[in-house]
Amino acid sequence: MKIPHLLSIGLFLFASSALFSQTNEATIETNKLSDNVYMLVGSGGNIGVSAGEDGVFIIDDQFAQLTPKIVTAIKAISDKPFQFLVNTHYHGDHTGGNENMAQQGVKIIAHENVRKRLMDGESSKDALPIITFNDRVNVHMNGEDVNVYHVEHAHTDGDAILYFTQSNVLHTGDTYFRNRYPYIDLKSGGSLDGYIKAVKKGLTLINDDTKIIPGHGEISNKEEYQSFLTMLETLRTNVQSEIDKGKSEDEVAANNAITKQYDDLGYGDFFINSERVKRAIYQSLKQE
């Protein structure tokens, strides 16, 4: 059995070096969304930046090895000092640059559970949020109020969504992926119904002209955000009706009809495929 074993090691090395070089070679693309708000796309969660007379305010920071490129991209927007950074949740593709960014002078803000989970993961002291909140917090900077809301048990148990009231920009963190299935991180306190509530909350904040920065995927709008909600509710209904018929998780996972409408649109072509989303929804509904 040596050959298959070597083959699998080879594939593993290939896959990890591909991931490494992807992050290493990532370039940071800057999109201007309003007079003072930008979306930065690199590798990992989408970054939001507000830059103006009061300094720089950042949302999420991707991976540690990308920090030099992220800093260069932000300095190309503004020469003002880095002031605050909000983590939308604790996952490493959103917080990996925390320690480096703290060394750039930011004060990190996040929900209490983000700090707890980063501490449990033995993050260094500099990587931890030093200002934490429970329900909500407001940041008053660069000529506008930025309202930061905790949404309960959605993608994780520490999610924040942020609304820039003058720029009319919403950053959803990973409570929204554009045209993709959700990642319901059940092990970190996420749930399907929390996800649905989070999107409903976001929809109450915005209007037809709002620009939405999703956790992953391209810049989005209210119409697409609304169809993401419809997708979540449709899959909830479909999986619940299988549960009501007494179907097992494996039977649900094997039933292609549940997700077909969205599989055909390519929603499963990313990190969370059709089988994974069906299993996560099944488990989430069974937990209730």
C-beta closer to Zn ion: residue 54 or 218: 218
Identify the residue whose tokens are 């993050």.
123
Nearest approach in angstroms of CB 172 to Zn ion is: 11
Q: Looking at beta carbons only, is 61 or 174 nearer to Zn ion? A: 174
Q: Are 70 and 104 in contact (CB under 8 A)?
A: no
CB of 96 to Zn ion, least distance (A): 11
Size of the site for Zn ion (CB under 5 A): 2
| DSSP tag of 81 | P
- Least distance to Zn ion from the beta carbon of 154, Å? 10
When the beta carbons of 36 and 87 are compared against Zn ion, the nearer one is 87
Q: Running DSSP on this structure, what letter comes out for residue 38? A: E
**Least distance CB 188 / Zn ion (angstroms):** 9
Verify binding: residue 117, Zn ion, rule CB under 5 A. no
With contact defined as beta carbons under 8 Å apart, do 38 and 51 qualify? yes
Q: Which of residues 156-185 bind Zn ion (CB under 5 A)?
A: 174
Tell me the backbone φ, ψ of residue 97, rounded to 5 degrees.
-95, 10
Nearest in space to 95 (alpha carbons), one of 80, 75, 115, 76: 115
Residues 210, 211, 216, 217, CA torsion sign? positive
Q: How far is the CB of 271 from Zn ion (least distance, A)?
A: 10
The owner of tokens 């917090």 is 137
Nearest distance from C-beta of residue 91 to Zn ion, angstroms: 3
Contacts 24+ apart (CB under 8 A), 262-267: 262/181, 262/231, 262/234, 262/235, 265/179, 266/179, 267/179, 267/180, 267/181, 267/231
Q: Residue 157 or 174: which CB sits closer to Zn ion?
A: 174
CB atoms within 10 A of CB 219: 16
Comparison of 174 and 242: residue with beta carbon closer to Zn ion: 174
CB of 11 to Zn ion, least distance (A): 26
Q: How far apart are CA 211 and CA 220, in angstroms?
A: 6
Sign of CA dihedral 234, 199, 50, 42: negative
Q: Which stretch binds Zn ion (CB under 5 A): 18-26, 83-91, 121-129, 191-199?
A: 83-91
Q: By CB under 5 A, name the one of 38, 70, 91, 115 that touches Zn ion.
A: 91
- Dig out the tokens for 242 from the structure: 């299988």
Contact 261, 234 (CB under 8 A): yes
Nearer to Zn ion, 156 or 259 (CB): 156
Q: How far is the CB of 176 from Zn ion (least distance, A)?
A: 11
Nearer to Zn ion, 44 or 268 (CB): 44
Residues that bind Zn ion (CB under 5 A): 91, 174
